[in-house]
Structure 1
Amino acid sequence: MIAVFAACAAALLSTAAPAQDRRQNAAGEFDFYVLALSWSPSFCEQASERGNAGRSQQIQCGGRPFSFVVHGLWPQYERGFPEYCERPAPRLDRRIMNSMLDLMPAPGLIYNEWDKHGTCAGTSARTYFEDIRKARAAVRIPPDFIDPKETRTVTPAEVEDAFIKVNPGLSSSAIAVTCDRTRLTEVRICMSKDLQFRACEEIDRRACRRERLEVPPVRGG
């Protein structure tokens, strides 16, 4: 009887667990990218509340004002995603890291994104970070999010609509807004391997469901 129960439980668990992609963590074998744009003022407020004073926080949250910064360009499957596709990851050239600080204003972030996501792209480090720059250049930031001076309150849909309005070809099925308990945290935009906007149902399902979000103003300046 115990054996029968154990077999039934195992069957139920296997049915409930999401199927692992057959290509799991094979470099270069994925379906599309997610360009993750982090709202830097929210990141800095979160860091301040947690009492974090690491070097990355000091760089990003110091005197230079940042609005949206690139969190990463993440290879994705239609369901799930690969990560850490080479262990250990090939060492990232410091010159490449330095070249990305205008978009990703913390060395630790750049190194981590290469180890976790870049190694799954199936390209050289230089090509991967060139693709990050191209992806970011393909997305226009709405005027209200370039240099806000005061805290605003918005809905997730209003953020999406603002991006859709200034980016021809971008649709609501290709963008997702994420949040913490009260604030806008990221805008995630799905792109094909050739960096064109494309739909992504799973990313859209994981979007923020809160009714209203705060958008803290840009710091410094």
Structure 2
Amino acid sequence: MIIEWRKRHSSVLLAVSVFFAPGPSGASVPLRGTLHAERDCEAFVSKKKKSNPDKARLEPGDAYVILEVNRPQQPDWVRVRVEDANPPERWVEASCGRQELSETPAEEEQAETERPIEPDDPSLCGTAGLQDSFKLALSWQPAFCESHRGKKECAANFPAAYQSAGNFTLHGLWPNREACGINYGNCEHRRPQREFCDYPSPGVNAEVTRQLSQVMPGTASCLERHEWFKHGTCQVDWDPSQYFEVAIDLVRQFNDSGLNKFMAANMGKQVLVEDFLAQVDSALGEGARQRLQLTCAGGKLTDVYISLPAHIQPGSSLSELIRTAPQDFRSKCSARFLVDPVGFSR
């Protein structure tokens, strides 16, 4: 449980190591106090997974507000607020410093600890690790380029072999929080940039960058930078390379399920939405269509959004992820759409 301090208490400080109030065995215990860092320690979002997406560390000599400990007696993990980290609530080893507890009135302590976190609190829409689902956003690149002809990835001489084979391309992998709608994002609170290439490089390794340039043509316009800072920073399980590696695998699974062959066979033709959805069910499992959103523009399919569960294990089967995802079918297409071929229409 995360406790926020709303005022400073003028109470006496007690050494944490002397005594902890009894609590359920193995349960974390909310506390008030201060950890005085005595050594340089890594600060984890998850102590179990050792996840630290922004490489946050304690600074020896600094004091940090204590939020909770992992067990009531002789804890080996303490959760503190690291103000410059995102999210700021971090687990550190108890040996990282000297802990002190502040004594507070029982009724005030109870009121603070029992105050619920409001699920629709707008302040949570920029806090990482609170997603309740993911969306895999795929583009039909030829239709995208019809209205974005000035983009580098839409230039006449841009390699289009991947799209020509009927493959959808990667737009992004988006952590979602239902209460935030489309506003869950930018969890590093970085100033939005007009040009994607004005964002700093997220530091994706060379091999993932190579693969990404194939499945995400938008890398020619630095789309991956925008996607990382707007969406990738709101999950806490993966660094940038791992995040894009998961997204690459998912888009390839979608295409290789047989949907690329379906799209290639219908390039330049009108397709019934029902036929496309039937192909999705055939390729990815009965009911998969209920986890899709379709977008069309000018009678052409432009985007497919796939609903996925809140937690994704790298290497997971896409069909299995879809099966366990929340249903969220929507379509902004009429009864049929055009599978736009590569190249600009006149």
CA distance, structure 1, for counterparts of residue 215 and residue 297 of structure 2: 22
Corresponding residue of 1:83: 185
Corresponding residue of 2:241: 126
CA distance, structure 2, for counterparts of residue 209 and residue 53 of structure 1: 25
Corresponding residue of 2:262: 144
Q: Could you tell me how far 1:170 is from its partner in structure 2?
A: 5.0
- What amino acid sits opposite 1:134 in the alignment? D
Corresponding residue of 1:187: 304
Aligned match for 1:46, one of 133, 147, 168: 147
Q: Please, what is the CA RMSD of the aligned residues?
A: 2.7
More strand by share: 2
Unpaired stretches in structure 2, ≥5 consecutive residues = 1-119, 191-198
Q: 1:87 to 1:98 in 2, by over 3 A?
A: farther
Q: Is the 8 A contact 2:136 2:307 kept in 1?
A: yes
Q: Could you tell me how far 1:176 is from its partner in structure 2?
A: 1.7
CA distance, structure 2, for counterparts of residue 169 and residue 132 of structure 1: 23
Q: Could you tell me how far 1:45 is from its partner in structure 2?
A: 2.0
Corresponding residue of 2:293: 176
SS in 2 for 1:102: helix
Deviations 1:33-67, CA, capped at 9 Å, x for gaps = 111111111112222xxxx32323228x7342313
Q: Is the 8 A contact 2:280 2:289 kept in 1?
A: no
Corresponding residue of 2:228: 114
Aligned match for 1:35, one of 117, 121, 136: 136
CA distance, structure 1, for counterparts of residue 186 and residue 160 of structure 2: 31
Aligned length in residues? 194
State the TM-score, normalized to the length of structure 2.
0.50
CA distance, structure 1, for counterparts of residue 147 and residue 200 of structure 2: 32
The more displaced of 26-35 and 77-86 is 77-86
Higher RCO (C-alpha under 8 Å, 6+ residues apart)? 1
- What amino acid sits opposite 1:64 in the alignment? A
- What amino acid sits opposite 1:62 in the alignment? F
CA distance, structure 2, for counterparts of residue 53 and residue 132 of structure 1: 26
Q: Could you tell me how far 1:150 is from its partner in structure 2?
A: 4.1
Q: Is the 8 A contact 2:200 2:225 kept in 1?
A: no
Corresponding residue of 1:217: 341
Aligned match for 1:135, one of 247, 250, 258: 250
- What amino acid sits opposite 2:242 in the alignment? T
CA distance, structure 1, for counterparts of residue 267 and residue 151 of structure 2: 26
Q: Could you tell me how far 1:106 is from its partner in structure 2?
A: 2.5
Q: Could you tell me how far 1:158 is from its partner in structure 2?
A: 2.2
Corresponding residue of 1:92: 202
- Amino-acid identity (%): 25
The more displaced of 93-102 and 178-187 is 93-102
Q: 1:186 to 1:54 in 2, by over 3 A?
A: closer
Q: Could you tell me how far 1:131 is from its partner in structure 2?
A: 1.4
CA distance, structure 2, for counterparts of residue 161 and residue 57 of structure 1: 30
| Match status 1:208 vs 2:208 | no
Unpaired stretches in structure 1, ≥5 consecutive residues = 1-18
SS in 2 for 1:217: coil
| Match status 1:164 vs 2:276 | no
CA distance, structure 1, for counterparts of residue 158 and residue 252 of structure 2: 24
SS in 2 for 1:24: helix
SS in 2 for 1:112: helix
Q: Could you tell me how far 1:114 is from its partner in structure 2?
A: 1.0
More helix by share: 1
Q: 1:27 to 1:41 in 2, by over 3 A?
A: same
Corresponding residue of 1:5: none
Deviations 1:80-103, CA, capped at 9 Å, x for gaps = 141111133774125354441111
Aligned match for 2:169, one of 69, 75, 93: 69
- What amino acid sits opposite 2:189 in the alignment? R
CA distance, structure 2, for counterparts of residue 160 and residue 111 of structure 1: 32
Q: Could you tell me how far 1:211 is from its partner in structure 2?
A: 2.2
CA distance, structure 1, for counterparts of residue 295 and residue 307 of structure 2: 14
